[in-house]
Structure 1
Amino acid sequence: MAWVILVLAGLLETVWAFTMKLSEGFTKPWPTVVTIATMIASFALLATAMRTLPLGTAYTVWTGIGAIGAFVVGILFLGESANPGRLIGAGLVVAGLAVLNLSSSS
C-alpha cells in the first residue's frame, strides 16, 4: 500500500509543478490555490509512505515521478522540446527508479 500512496504523492507533485507554472509566479489565484493544495497533499502522502518505505527510496521515487511527470506535461501541454537528449535523460531517470524499486527491502 505504501507504494500506491507514494505513486499518488508523485503524481500530485506533477500537478503542483504544472499549476505552479500556470500561476505565473503566484500572480494567478486559482493555479496558486491548486498548487498549494496539491503540495500539501503530496507532502502528506509522502510522509505516510515514509512510515514503511526507506527514506532514500521514498524520496527519490517521489521526486523522480514528479520530474518525469513534469517533463511529460511540459512536452504535451507546454510545447517543450522532446529531443533525443532529453528523452534519453528521462529514460535514465526511469531506469534509476526501476532499480530502486527492485532493490528496495520493503
Structure 2
Amino acid sequence: MFSDRVDLAANLQRCCVLREEGIDVPIVPGIKPITRKYQLNAIPRNFFVDMPDELVRMIQKAKTDEAVVEAGIEWCIYQSVELKKAGVPCIHYYTMSDSAVVRRVAEKVV
C-alpha cells in the first residue's frame, strides 16, 4: 500500500536490484482511497506508510465528510493516472467494504 507514486518509484528501484539477484515476483501497487479524516493517522500507523503533505492538506481542508470523500477520490484518481502514464500494468484498490468509491475512481482511470 502506498499513498504517493514517488514513494512507489523508490520502492521499485530497490526491487530492480532484487530482480538482478534472481528474485522475480510481480509488483502490484495498492492504493486505499482516503474517505475519513481519521485515516490520516490510522493508515500510517497500521501499514507503515507515509501520507504525502499535499494529500494531508487536501483532507484537512475538507469541511464536511462528503468533501473528505471527494478529496480522497481526487487524490486516488491523480495517483492512478500518473501510475498508468508511468507504465504500471495494474493497480490494486483497497475497498474496505466501500466499493462505490473505488468504482468512481476506476471510471475515471480506465
**Does TM-score exceed 0.5, indicating one fold?**
no
Higher helix share: 1
TM-score (norm 2): 0.39
